[in-house]
Structure 1
Amino acid sequence: MTGSPDIYQYNHSDPEKSINFVTCHDGFTLWDLVSYNQKNNHANGEENRDGMSDNYSWNHGIEGETDNQEIDKLRVRQCKNLLTAIMLSIGTPMLLMGDEHLRTQHGNNNAYCQNTPLSWMNWRKNERSDEMQRYTQELIKYRKYLFSRAQHEGMMVSLAEILHRSEICWHGVNPYSPDWDANSHSLAMTAISLDVKVAIYIIFNAYWAPLQFNLPLPPQNINGNWHRIGRCSLYVLGQSILAVSSLD
């Protein structure tokens, strides 16, 4: 989220030199990442021996496509969570083509040898792909909005510059009390831009049940109240916040 400052330091190697991504041309697509526990490369003719076996994926209870609407809904939500983490992190975001449509290769994580519908881009629209494309567009708009505030204030339009001029605070379910334990499944953070007069509070809850988070008090140097952006766990404090489109 903060651009790996232990590696990419403002005075030496700025965070834009880092690339943030969850999926790429090798491995599962974003939709397959939340739909398959195991690779399904039988069509490649190598008896499923090719491709990585460790995909860090989770099928949410059923392997592959399903008619279970609850599982399908949770998978879409998880895809949104992953994209949100990419697009709101300091660094250069990389999006695998087709993930904005939730394209699937039906669990094939090594489809380089396929010139078939398995690896082709399916442009047919459906409710799932339309929703993800809309959400991705809103994320991009919001990222541009956040960093365009610096330009309006006469600052350099640079993620590194914003990070350099910001205060990062970590939280748990209570302000300033992060749980760094290995079994922790939740974390929150605030990024307070000292010059642009805007603060962002983000919640990541990967726990299997809802948790109640207590928001920190607004910084003394920024007037206003926290505003929630859509139904996602993202709050912003500052001027003209209500003009931001809802992410949902």
Structure 2
Amino acid sequence: MTTATPPAAALPWDRDRARARAPESTPAWRRFTHALRTRVLARVRAGTTADPTPRDRGDDTGARGLIVPEPPLDIEELYHHRRLSLVRLAVLLVDDLPTAEDVVQDAFTALFRRHGHRLGSLDDPEAYLRTSVVNAARSVLRRRRTVRAHTPEREGHAPAPEEDVLLHEDHREVLAALRTLTPRQREVLVLRYWSHLTEAEIAATLGLSRGTVKSTASRALDALGRRLEGLR
């Protein structure tokens, strides 16, 4: 039996579409780029035989060694606790805030239409959403490549206001270098250093083996190291 979709007023993410956007949290971006730069520099100093990512911990701990709390079972609670981190994840994959917000809104809407308000039937609703966001970001990038192949590139592109904040902060070089990676390399590093996932969690999110995640991270960090060295 299919559950009828309630009116839009019942969906918190639809209500949020009408609100003014809050400014991005610059400290959060700086923590991400600092962690990524630190790992790249440590790898350069140690040589390419160094582990590309910190060693995974047990199944009951996150990348920071903390006990992972039980995920919220109500979709509104999940939305209010995880929306912002998912939007920032999407921004790092698609490079602009409006598209990232749409990607996350669509992921929550699809989750709601399939499972309703209560999410007890899902083992890990956050992982479900994260995979949806990554897949949607891939679709966005594919569409962009198709459009660019048939549309002359405009000169003098001016960044949107939210992009301007990023471009004028200290972390802009890391973000610029991140954009030069392949989509898979970017996904692996963003999931590791922004979402703090283990290799096993990244593999599950992207549908890859742990070995592929490890080798992709290694190549991505090498590429970032060369790029950042070239900017000095």
Normalising by structure 1, we get a TM-score of 0.25
Larger Rg, first or second structure (1 or 2): 1
More helix by share: 2
More strand by share: 1
**Greater relative contact order, per chain length (Cα 8 Å cut-off, separation 6+):** 2
Normalising by structure 2, we get a TM-score of 0.27
